[in-house]
Amino acid sequence: MNRMGWAVALLVTSSAAGALGLATWKRWSHAPAAEGSPARRDPRQVGDVELSLILNKIREGDLLAIQGDLAGATRAWGDARRRGAGLWQVHEGIGDSYARAKLFDDAAREYATADALVPASMAAMRGGIRVKRALALERVGRHGEAFALLLDVDPPRIGHLYGLYGQGPNKREMMARLRRRAEADPRLLCLAAVLSEAEGATADAALAMAKYVRLVEPWNVGLARQVVEKLRGLGRVAQAIEVCRAWAKALPQDWTVYDLMGGLWLAAGDEKRAYLAYTSMVDVRPDDADAYRALGRALRAMGRVDEAVRAFEKSKSLRPEEPDRWIDVAETVAMRDPAAAEKLYDEIAKSNWDARFGNVVEAIRRRMAERLVRELEEARKRNDTARAREIRRQLAAYGVPEAAFDLKVVMTWDTRTDIDMDVIDPSGEHVEHSHPASKAGGRYWTDNTAGFGPETFTLAKASGTYRVGAHFHSGQDRTTVKFVVILFEDTDRERRSEHVLVFEKAGEQKFLPDLQVK
């Protein structure tokens, strides 16, 4: 055994405990005691009789403490201390007895003495003693001292340190001490990050966690990615790149880190390094279809269309059974040769795909809509109002919310009730929650049953007379329903109007005055 567990030793007979104690102690070498502590004694020079007397005195004190005689217990422990002075195991055991008796100041003193007496050859034993001492200090409100003590314990007790910090009297000093200790033990950096974040020091928290990932867990992909995104958001691109480098070194076959790194280099304005990072994806995984696909998307975003097409072609050749990879090629070709792209789309639509890929024609429409949405976002970033307006009109054909429509109705209400919108078009077709799409292209987007809305109806091409209203599906409260009607949104003909209907009880259905769209 490494050292005697005093709680166990006190339950066995004194002779057995003495024999066990000597058998263990005699393996421990002698070394000079720390200054200010009793002189360290060599356990090999402690006889069986002396050991038995020490243990019996400790046990006597424990029994007196249980009986409520703390004065007698203290005398017995003091006698054991005098007899065992200089033996760290004795001081630790007496500290345990004081702690059980809730005499925590005395316990902390004995643990400090034991800590100082542990020989260098058994330095690992100090950790347990320091934890006990910290617990004793915590019980008497000396949180700062307990915090400082636990910083030196291996492995770090992060949860305990967090709790002590919250109760500490001088958080600035505690944080400074934590950061100094983290220079030697980077595992503590995660605690520094959590505490900094809690105090609103977001940048300090992100930098501490970045250092933690680099030095302790570069293989933790989820954490590394989270830290990189946080740093990117704070404009700390250089530090984010350093995290990526550590990640790439720890997991050299993980191509996703190079995708992330390429984006960071672009954000830093270094296209050359971005290109090198992106192409590294397929260098480390030359037969990975997804790596080539990611490379194609990156190159396309950089305007390197020809290279992007080649990357997508390689992705397609590795997984030719997947229609999405063919669509990648077609939509990229469309950037330089729309006519050639149309032929590719036609070929894809007419090909015989496995049923598991669903409606491929619809997939093509979805992908084209996604591309337009991306272009819309870019146009808005450039403040290119004319281009944004043009794209929104194109998107109307795909029936996505980002589009500009001839008719849009947004409905909200003021209670936690279930209100459903009704729209009847010129043909008489009734669009509502159970019939959300009309033959003319009208779309009822969301059936909000929890209250307040919004619910939205859109129609790309509108002409004629429309009836717009609602019905009170369920609920008990008087409800005011507000409609915002938008005609020819984002054009020179745009018109907006607001209307209100009031419902008194469930089951009611009401309509606004007829809406004429010309």
Both 444 and 339 in a single domain?
Answer: no
The answer as to whether 319 is a domain residue is yes
Both 272 and 363 in a single domain?
Answer: yes
pLDDT at position 254: 96
Asked if residue 24 has pLDDT above 80, the reply is no
The answer as to whether 503 is a domain residue is yes
The answer as to whether 183 is a domain residue is no
Mean pLDDT, the chain, whole residue set: 88
Both 424 and 311 in a single domain?
Answer: no
CB 6 within 8 A of CB 89: yes
Both 352 and 245 in a single domain?
Answer: yes
pTM check: above 0.85:
no
pLDDT at position 292: 98
Domain termination residue (choose one: 375, 397, 422):
375
Q: Tokens 């109806």, residue?
A: 457
pLDDT, one tens digit per residue, over 82-131 is 999 999 999 999 999 999 999 999 999 999 999 999 998 888 899 999 99
Asked if residue 15 has pLDDT above 70, the reply is no
CA 68 and chain centroid, separation: 51
Both 426 and 304 in a single domain?
Answer: no
CA-to-CA distance for 54 and 306, rounded, in angstroms?
86
pLDDT, one tens digit per residue, over 460-510 is 889 999 999 999 988 777 899 999 999 998 888 889 999 999 998 888 999
Q: Mutual orientation of helices 202-215 and 221-233 as an angle, nearest 10°?
A: 150
Asked if residue 353 has pLDDT above 90, the reply is no
Of 359, 357, 392, nearest to 376 by C-alpha is: 392
Both 334 and 227 in a single domain?
Answer: yes
Asked if residue 258 has pLDDT above 50, the reply is yes
pLDDT at position 37: 66
Both 20 and 95 in a single domain?
Answer: yes
pLDDT at position 386: 86
Q: Which domain holds residue 365?
A: 221-375
Q: How confident is the model at residue 36 (pLDDT cuts 50, 70, 90)?
A: low
Domain termination residue (choose one: 360, 375, 390):
375
Both 409 and 507 in a single domain?
Answer: yes
Of 329, 360, 325, nearest to 344 by C-alpha is: 329
Both 22 and 92 in a single domain?
Answer: yes
CB 151 within 8 A of CB 178: yes
The answer as to whether 415 is a domain residue is yes
Both 261 and 337 in a single domain?
Answer: yes
Q: Is the dihedral of CA 276, 277, 283, 287 positive or negative?
A: negative
Total count of domains within the chain: 3
Q: How confident is the model at residue 25 (pLDDT cuts 50, 70, 90)?
A: very low
What distances in angstroms separate CA 212 from CA 163, 187, 190, 237, 251, one per listed residue?
A: 20, 7, 6, 17, 17
pLDDT at position 484: 92
Residue 105 maps to which CATH number? 1.25.40
Would you state the structure tokens that stand for residue 363, as one six-digit string?
């997939």
Asked if residue 452 has pLDDT above 80, the reply is yes
| H-run or E-run covering 409 | strand 407-413
Q: How confident is the model at residue 26 (pLDDT cuts 50, 70, 90)?
A: very low
Q: What percent of the chain has pLDDT over 70?
A: 92
Asked if residue 3 has pLDDT above 70, the reply is no
pLDDT, one tens digit per residue, over 207-218 is 999 999 999 999
pLDDT at position 211: 97
Domain termination residue (choose one: 122, 140, 158):
140
pLDDT, one tens digit per residue, over 181-211 is 999 999 999 999 999 999 999 999 999 999 9
Q: How confident is the model at residue 389 (pLDDT cuts 50, 70, 90)?
A: confident
The answer as to whether 127 is a domain residue is yes
CB 212 within 8 A of CB 189: yes
Both 312 and 420 in a single domain?
Answer: no
pLDDT, one tens digit per residue, over 125-160 is 999 999 999 999 999 999 999 999 999 999 999 999
Asked if residue 41 has pLDDT above 90, the reply is no
The answer as to whether 182 is a domain residue is no
What distances in angstroms separate CA 423 from CA 131, 396, 440, 518, one per listed residue?
A: 70, 18, 12, 17
Residue 284 maps to which CATH number? 1.25.40.10
Both 230 and 350 in a single domain?
Answer: yes
